[in-house]
Structure 1
Amino acid sequence: MLTSFKKSVKGSGGDQRIPGTQRSIHNGQLLCSTGVPSMDSVFGGGIPVGSVLMVEEDSNDQYASLLTRYFVAEGVVCGNAIITVSSESIESQVNHLPEPIFSSAGPAYISRERMKIAWRYQRMPQTDASYGQPLDYGHNFDINQAMNPSRLRNCDYNLINLKEVYNECNAGKAELLKNVIKKLQRHMHTNHFSVDPVMNTGQSSKVLRVVIPNFGSPLWGTMDRSSAVQFLFCLRKLLRNSLAVCIISAPTHTYPEDIVQLMRHHVDTVVELKDFGSDKTNPLYKEYHGLLKVHKLPIVNTLLPYMPDTLDLAFKLRRKKFSVERLHLPPNIGTSQQEEGSTDNNTKPSIHNTPIDF
């Protein structure tokens, strides 16, 4: 006799879909979009709810800060709740959010139509540079256009001000991280983002997006190894029992290597942005702005993570968007015509020997 059953995940609302989320087709995990569809495809559709994504910043923090803005903008459009741990005001943060592009065409991919102008490229193998396939959730954003203020009127946006938390600390900088965790925990419990089977409280119908930019920078004061690792351990434990997802950007290029390895161990997903800057001596890199190194893929409620078909990835800042692409060599057609013609350099072709005379 055939039987069937439907698994109900606590905190997911049963069959009711939570705005801004989607079930993974690989393991059924509840996913949230990062705001960059091509990066979502690298992770198998998005980042799991209840996990921590750490972005190791580039040297100038140009692209990492852009990813955090994408993450926040996606939460605004989807109606998610947002809380940021920063020393900047909410107004200064929302002023730099990109405007969403609502289009049914999906992400921009390389056309497979016949090239009529660049006819010399027709015999070359075409490569779909943009990573992944279009998703039925998530959005594209125009980084050249600021988000319409009307979208932010009903947004549930909160701030944990680092300056105020530091002033509340009696023991100095060592208590800063503990107080941030306490404020996050209090906010999650108060707004019912935590899944507590003992208390049996009401469950929120929204996902909370936690944004922690520039973790470990001078704004956070002097942190030793044990306090930074303990903060990440407590943060991940807090998210595991919550309907929330977190993104952290950290200038790990300024950290000792042993601390970086410990930090990677205590988060769920790690990607590193290595920008080229003005140094593009390698012709392979001339089409890109940097490399995207995946150090750790999310393994949440599953034995094996989703593994993309390649980890040779690069990122490019296009005219309107940030895109993750496969790293590949450009087509080489410099001597294609010469190879197809006569191989004898001393023999000059005659117009009388040509089969067709125009």
Structure 2
Amino acid sequence: MSFRKRNVGLTGSAGADGTAQTPPAPQTPPKERVPLPGVRPSPLDGRPTTSTGTASLDALLAGHSGLALGSSILIEESGTTDYAGALLRFFAAEGLLQGHHVHVVGLPEHWGRELPGAVGESEQKEKPAEHTEKMKIAWRYESLGQFGAGTNTRERQQTIPKQTAQNTEPGQAISVPFRHTFDLTKRLVHPASSKLDFVQLGMNPSQSPYIPVLEHLQTSLTRSTTDTIHRIIIPSILSPALYPPQSSQPQYILHFLHGIRSLLAAYPDRMIAIISLPLSLYPRSSGLVRWVELLNDGVLELSPFPHSADGDTQVSRGPAGTTEEPPQGLLQVHRLPILHDRGSGTGISETDWTFTLSRRKFTIRPFNLPPIEGDTEAQQASADLKGKKSDMEF
């Protein structure tokens, strides 16, 4: 009969050969991942997202409050206007201020000197006209506003370590805004470390003009570090003013878009793309445009209103009685970036939208029809409602 000493702690379990096994060494905790500038998790599913440079457009993108990395957006525009060009400029300016690598296809270099400038912190602190009258129901509702309005005041700040900042001590953190506010009347001062490339198309009529673009993007993505975000801008695709005649051939353009899709799939955390398309030259009823739409994650259409012959512009009134610029067109959402089969990012309730491009910014609002001019009952009810709101004080 074998005996065993008592009151002796067991240091390890015996193995098959009778020898005691030592416990495994404690594992070191993994290093905390450094947040990338201009990137934050989506409030829906946590995937990394970045800003398009337009607050109201970020709020429209399927509830992610930004454009998810690894996705692309196609902005179609009918008519001879260039409202989509303003969105592309905001997209490029935001990327430069966040330290992203911006690639512009088919445009000359002077386009980079026309980017809108950022609004300073002192100007952002000044309250706009629509926020001069506060809601009198409860103080905690004062920050609520219209769709896409006042978004920058509620944005969270990112904490970036010293490795990505300058003139800071080791271990000291700085705050970088997720989204900047831009003014079209100003010009952007490019940071010293900004990366802006203008990729020119090939002019050989016997081959695809998009081959140099795909080679440039593949080389840049391969040679760059893993913490570099690449923004691809393709303006007015298929337009004869920027692209050679053979660029509209289906075997060339579809191969190019398939190449963009493959790069987005190969670098899902480092690349996003935005493309504009003139519908006046290539309508949505054509098969080529349908294929172009299928090869993009999101599809938006800008339909400007026809300008009046006399040039009169009626000024509308906001909810607080403030003046608002009239809408300049309709924005139709044909597709939003649905990122997996469970339908992540489909929480959009409104379906009709309008857009306004003022001298300073681009704004997207829900489309609401005013009361008919002859409908006196609706006008009287609207006036009574405004009077009741002004008398409510608690």
Mapping 1:249-288, distance limit 5 Å: 249-256=276-283, 257=285, 258-279=287-308, 287-288=326-327
> In structure 2, what is the Cα distance between the partners aligned to 1:293 and 1:183?
33
SS at match of 1:295: strand
Deviations 1:178-222 (A, max 9, x none): 332122112211224xxxxxxxxxx2x221111111111113223
- TM-score by length of structure 1 reads 0.73
> In structure 1, what is the Cα distance between the partners aligned to 2:252 and 2:211?
9
Q: Which residue of structure 1 lines up, in the alignment, with residue 25 of structure 2?
A: none
> In structure 1, what is the Cα distance between the partners aligned to 2:36 and 2:46?
14
> In structure 1, what is the Cα distance between the partners aligned to 2:306 and 2:221?
40
SS at match of 2:43: coil
- TM-score by length of structure 2 reads 0.67
Q: Which residue of structure 2 lines up, in the alignment, with residue 330 of structure 1?
A: 370
Verify the 8 A CA contact 2:75 2:302 in the aligned structure 1. yes
SS at match of 1:247: strand
> In structure 2, what is the Cα distance between the partners aligned to 1:309 and 1:109?
27
Mapping 1:34-183, distance limit 5 Å: 34-43=52-61, 44=63, 45-89=65-109, 92-103=110-121, 110-111=130-131, 113=133, 129-131=146-148, 134=151, 135-136=155-156, 137-148=178-189, 151-162=190-201, 165-166=202-203, 169=204, 172=205, 174-183=207-216
Residue 224 (1) aligns with residue 249 (2): yes
SS at match of 1:214: coil
Q: 1:251 to 1:190 in 2, by over 3 A?
A: same
Q: 1:263 to 1:298 in 2, by over 3 A?
A: same
Q: Give the unaligned 5+ runs of structure 2.
A: 1-29, 136-143, 157-177, 317-324, 382-394
Matched letter for residue 336 of structure 2: L
> In structure 2, what is the Cα distance between the partners aligned to 1:246 and 1:16?
24
Matched letter for residue 326 of structure 1: P
Q: Which residue of structure 2 lines up, in the alignment, with residue 188 of structure 1?
A: 221
Give the drift of 1:48.
1.1
Verify the 8 A CA contact 1:317 1:323 in the aligned structure 2. yes
> In structure 1, what is the Cα distance between the partners aligned to 2:126 and 2:71?
27
> In structure 1, what is the Cα distance between the partners aligned to 2:380 and 2:70?
57
Question: Percent sequence identity over matched residues?
Answer: 26
Q: 1:174 to 1:130 in 2, by over 3 A?
A: same
Q: Which residue of structure 2 lines up, in the alignment, with residue 118 of structure 1?
A: none
Q: CA RMSD in A?
A: 3.3
SS at match of 2:253: helix
Mapping 1:240-255, distance limit 5 Å: 240-242=265-267, 243-255=270-282
335, 338, 343: which one pairs with 1:299? 338
> In structure 2, what is the Cα distance between the partners aligned to 1:337 and 1:253?
38
Q: Relative to structure 2, which stretch is displaced further, 320-329 or 252-261?
A: 252-261
Q: 1:337 to 1:296 in 2, by over 3 A?
A: closer
> In structure 2, what is the Cα distance between the partners aligned to 1:159 and 1:65?
16
Matched letter for residue 178 of structure 1: I
Q: 1:105 to 1:24 in 2, by over 3 A?
A: farther
> In structure 1, what is the Cα distance between the partners aligned to 2:379 and 2:44?
49
> In structure 2, what is the Cα distance between the partners aligned to 1:338 and 1:32?
42
> In structure 2, what is the Cα distance between the partners aligned to 1:186 and 1:106?
44
Verify the 8 A CA contact 2:208 2:252 in the aligned structure 1. no
Matched letter for residue 327 of structure 1: F
> In structure 2, what is the Cα distance between the partners aligned to 1:338 and 1:109?
24
SS at match of 1:293: strand
Q: Give the unaligned 5+ runs of structure 1.
A: 1-7, 116-126, 193-202, 341-358
Verify the 8 A CA contact 1:33 1:74 in the aligned structure 2. yes
> In structure 2, what is the Cα distance between the partners aligned to 1:252 and 1:144?
28
Matched letter for residue 261 of structure 1: R
291, 312, 337: which one pairs with 2:352? 312
Verify the 8 A CA contact 2:371 2:378 in the aligned structure 1. no
Larger radius of gyration: 2
Q: Which residue of structure 2 lines up, in the alignment, with residue 345 of structure 1?
A: none
> In structure 1, what is the Cα distance between the partners aligned to 2:118 and 2:230?
20
Verify the 8 A CA contact 1:41 1:133 in the aligned structure 2. no
Give the drift of 1:302.
5.7
